[in-house]
């Protein structure tokens, strides 16, 4: 199969007089097969379960030197937007769907602010299971809704918040567990297999850096991801892969910050719709992760989040608004003198791709200039 594809350098045209050097022989490497294949020894899975995978994970740790210089730290962005459906959710979904299929579920269901919906839809399609997703009416970014529809899920808009939708799917699956033998599986991050899969992000960071970072910074919504990362680092510590654990730095949007306020938020509101959540299902675990690690959870206002989205894009990494909340909170706290990361290694989890929410950019920017199709007009702009 490899012979069908030319590598970029082999395909490059030869200049006149230039000799084409033979390609150096490369040792064959096993093709990457997704997070379950890579980390199976560390994941709790029914024996013999065949992975439902789209080759998720293995995402890059991209240095962000300009923002890092401003913070005085070595800063990396783990770009989870490069997963198959454009967000970190795929790490957990490969696990949840593998278990659901192995246990004979006929369909899956989730509540979602959008990314879980797209991921569940894709992995259910892959597994041949029917997928239902409940989303808050009118509050899901275009790329996520389109994804869920494209992958063939039945999408239901709930006249309420994500929290209302999650409450509904929990009631439904509780009843199905009691009365119908669990034929419909809940694949939100309250599903323990989701957290198991998502902890592989922590493993990858340690495997890439050779140690844990000093700080791990990420946005917090329903609080599954911060729980998963903390678990991953601690498990690697037990195995002797890391000696020092990172401090967990979680960031909520100011209009949806129950963990910072210390009470649920009935009407959460933020431009970062992915984390527009007022009653995080794993809120207690998030607080424990922050406390045990000597970290913190802070809130960042929408304007700060959007400014950081723009900033990261100017380093070449375009993420959705929620993903910018992490570094936005980090910079905000550093500038206020409440946090000092100088000389430290910081990894920010960039949870979702900017393509998920194109309106967040286009709605805020002036439309591109329109010019007539002639050179004078072009030169007048370009100079």
Q: Report the interface residues with ligand F0G, using CB under 6 A.
A: 87, 89, 112-116, 189, 219-225, 274-275, 320, 322-323, 351-352
Provide, rounded to whole angstroms, the least separation between the CB of residue 223 and ligand F0G: 5
Q: Name the token pair of 15.
A: 């200049």
Are 108 and 130 spatial neighbours (Cβ–Cβ below 8 Å)?
yes
**For ligand F0G, which is the closer residue by CB, 194 or 247?**
194
Q: Whole-angstrom Cα distance, residue 231 to residue 244?
A: 14
- Assess contact for 135 and 117: CB atoms under 8 A: yes
Give the CA distances from residue 137 to residues 117, 189, 357, 366, in Å, rounded to whole numbers and listed in that order: 13, 21, 16, 27
Residue 101 or 305: the one with the smaller Cβ distance to ligand F0G is 305
Quote the least distance from Cβ 116 to ligand F0G, whole Å.
Answer: 4
Q: How far is the CB of 319 from ligand F0G (least distance, A)?
A: 8
Residue with smaller CB distance to ligand F0G, 135 or 242: 135
Our CA dihedral for 228, 246, 322, 324, rounded to 10 degrees, sits at -150
Q: Which residues of 157-174 are buried (b: 16+ CB within 10 A; e: fewer)?
A: ebeebbbebbbbbbeebe
DSSP state, residue 191: S
* Nearer of residues 53 and 323 to ligand F0G, judged by Cβ: 323
What CA–CA distance (Å, rounded) separates 262 from 244?
Answer: 29
Q: How far is the CB of 249 from ligand F0G (least distance, A)?
A: 13
Q: Identify the three-state secondary structure at position 110.
A: strand
Please state the closest distance from residue 352 (CB atom) to ligand F0G, in A.
Answer: 3
| Shortest Å distance, C-beta 43 to ligand F0G | 18
Residue pair 158/136 in contact by the 8 Å Cβ criterion: yes
State which residue, 74 or 246, has the beta carbon closest to ligand F0G: 246
Which CB atom, from 213 or from 219, has the smaller least distance to ligand F0G? Answer: 219
Residues contacting 319, CB < 8 A, separation 6+: 79, 81, 309, 312, 313, 350, 351, 352, 353, 354
Q: Between residues 223 and 245, which has the closer beta carbon with respect to ligand F0G?
A: 223
Buried b (16+ CB within 10 A) or exposed e, 119-148: bbbbbbbbbebebbbbbbeebbbebbbebb
Q: Which is nearer to ligand F0G, 221 or 232 (CB)?
A: 221
């Amino acid at each position: 199969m490899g012979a069908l594809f030319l590598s970029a350098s082999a395909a490059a045209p030869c200049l006149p007089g230039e000799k084409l050097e033979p390609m150096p022989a490369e040792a064959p490497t096993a093709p990457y097969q997704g997070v379950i294949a890579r980390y199976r020894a560390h994941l709790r899975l029914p024996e013999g379960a065949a992975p439902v995978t789209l080759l998720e994970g293995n995402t890059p740790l991209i240095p962000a030197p300009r923002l890092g210089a401003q913070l005085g730290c070595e800063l990396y962005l783990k770009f989870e937007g490069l997963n198959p459906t454009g967000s970190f959710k795929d790490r957990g979904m490969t696990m949840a769907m593998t278990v659901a299929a192995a246990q004979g579920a006929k369909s899956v269901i989730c509540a979602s602010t959008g990314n879980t919906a797209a991921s569940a839809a894709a992995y259910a399609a892959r597994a041949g299971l029917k997928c239902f997703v409940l989303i808050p009416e009118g509050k899901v970014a275009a790329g996520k809704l389109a994804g869920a529809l494209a992958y063939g899920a039945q999408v239901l808009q709930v006249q309420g918040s994500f929290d209302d939708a999650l409450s509904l799917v929990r009631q439904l699956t509780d009843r199905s567990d009691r009365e119908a033998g669990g034929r419909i599986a809940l694949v939100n991050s309250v599903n323990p297999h989701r957290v198991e899969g998502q902890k592989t992000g922590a493993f990858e960071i340690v495997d890439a850096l050779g140690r844990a970072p000093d700080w791990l910074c990420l946005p917090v919504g329903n609080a599954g991801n911060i729980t998963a990362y903390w678990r991953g680092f601690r498990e690697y510590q037990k195995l002797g892969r890391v000696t020092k654990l990172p401090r967990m730095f979680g960031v909520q949007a100011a209009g949806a910050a129950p963990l910072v306020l210390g009470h649920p938020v009935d009407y959460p509101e933020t431009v970062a719709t992915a984390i527009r959540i007022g009653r995080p299902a794993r809120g207690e675990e998030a607080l424990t992760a922050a406390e045990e690690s000597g970290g913190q959870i802070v809130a960042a206002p929408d304007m700060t989040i959007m400014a950081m989205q723009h900033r990261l894009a100017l380093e070449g990494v375009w993420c959705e608004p929620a993903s910018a909340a992490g570094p936005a909170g980090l910079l905000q706290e550093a500038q206020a003198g409440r946090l000092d990361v100088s000389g430290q290694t910081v990894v920010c989890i960039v949870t979702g791709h900017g393509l998920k929410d194109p309106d967040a950019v286009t709605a805020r920017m002036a439309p591109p200039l329109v010019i007539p199709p002639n050179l004078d007009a072009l030169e007048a702009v370009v100079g």
